[in-house]
Amino acid sequence: MELFFIVNPKAGKAKRIWRQLQRTLTVSYQVHNTRAEGDATVITKQLAQSNRPYLIIGVGGDGTMHEIVQGALHAKNIIIGYVPAGSGNDFARAFPTFHHAHEIEQFMQQVQPTIHTFDSGVMQVDDEVHCFVNNAGLGFDAYVATLVNQSKWKRLFNHLRIGRFLYFFAVIRALLHYKTFSATITSDGKTIHYKDIWFIALCNQPYFGGGMKVAPQAVPHDGYLQVVVVNKVSRLKLLLVFSSVFIGWHTFFKEVSIMQATTMAITITQGDAPAHVDGEKLANQSVDATISGQIKPRCWQSVRFTANHHI
């Protein structure tokens, strides 16, 4: 098995963490520094098509891992690892991670590497299919993600290791300007109409927004998506809901609905809804737009650690 690093030098702490790894790694490896959006997916697909066994380790944030997993779907010769170096690092809260060079070297020494297989979500918008590993969504969370990614302060906040505060400020700003929408959701033969929706989140794992436990029951290898809908709530109460998300207490609010699904269809009936996959902005969805979602069970491989591994 060959070792290949994909490093996003623009991610929060990636440069510093990568320099530390380089100084202590004693095994041979290859490395690619991403230069543009989608770069990590292209490189991963090329390695997958080689049919040679690779451990690909992403050094970056959630966006970097989103791209790497997209390139590794259904590739039996690719095992994915992660060194957290972004601002949100929600991927690290649900999937195995490396923190030190010796952990990577121990894994590489295995004759038969131990692996996990995980699910991926799929969101289809018009004719475009987008895979996600953490979550996808419509509405307020997509609006906030766009504000964070476009903020001129993002690099500074990440450098100071206070990226979560930037997300909080974006939430406050979004509360002042965001407009709700209405939609129908059809899942497992049942259709429900929701009015005044703040957001719909399709979750493969529990976390979004840098540690918010939006879908406490989500498991990334159970073959299901958790769908979270927040609607008919005042702006002031929504702030209270968001404050409780970090510990999962938002589920006690009557304005929060959670369902489990393998497939679903969402049709916008009023208003416009910003959209995202793993925090990456998609086109806004307007009236009569239909967005479908589904789960792809156990379609990518990750490292699996032995019982004496500590992270």
Q: Are 25 and 65 in a shared domain?
A: yes
Q: Where does a domain end: 55, 82, 113? A: 113
Is residue 304 a part of any domain in this protein? no
The model carries a pTM of 0.90
> What pLDDT shows up at residue 309?
47
Q: Are 140 and 287 in a shared domain?
A: yes
DSSP letter (8 states) at residue 72: H
- Please tell me the distance from the alpha carbon of residue 79 to that of residue 102, in angstroms, as a whole number: 18
- Please tell me the distance from the alpha carbon of residue 171 to that of residue 61, in angstroms, as a whole number: 20
Backbone angles phi, psi at 223, to 5 degrees: 80, 15
Q: Where does a domain end: 113, 130, 153? A: 113
DSSP letter (8 states) at residue 249: G
The boundaries of the domain holding residue 192 are: 122-297
Provide the CATH number for the domain around residue 179: 2.60.200.40
> What pLDDT shows up at residue 74?
97
The two tokens of residue 114 are: 């131990």
Number of domains into which the chain is organized? 2
> What pLDDT shows up at residue 215?
95
**pLDDT tens-digit series, residues 81-137:** 999 998 778 999 999 999 999 999 999 998 788 999 999 999 998 888 999 999 999
Residues of the chain with pLDDT under 50: 307-311
DSSP letter (8 states) at residue 251: G
**pLDDT tens-digit series, residues 163-195:** 666 777 778 888 888 999 999 999 988 999 999
- Please tell me the distance from the alpha carbon of residue 14 to that of residue 268, in angstroms, as a whole number: 39
- Do residues 217 and 155 lie in contact, with contact meaning Cβ atoms separated by under 8 Å? no
The two tokens of residue 253 are: 């609010």
- Do residues 82 and 3 lie in contact, with contact meaning Cβ atoms separated by under 8 Å? no
- Do residues 259 and 224 lie in contact, with contact meaning Cβ atoms separated by under 8 Å? no
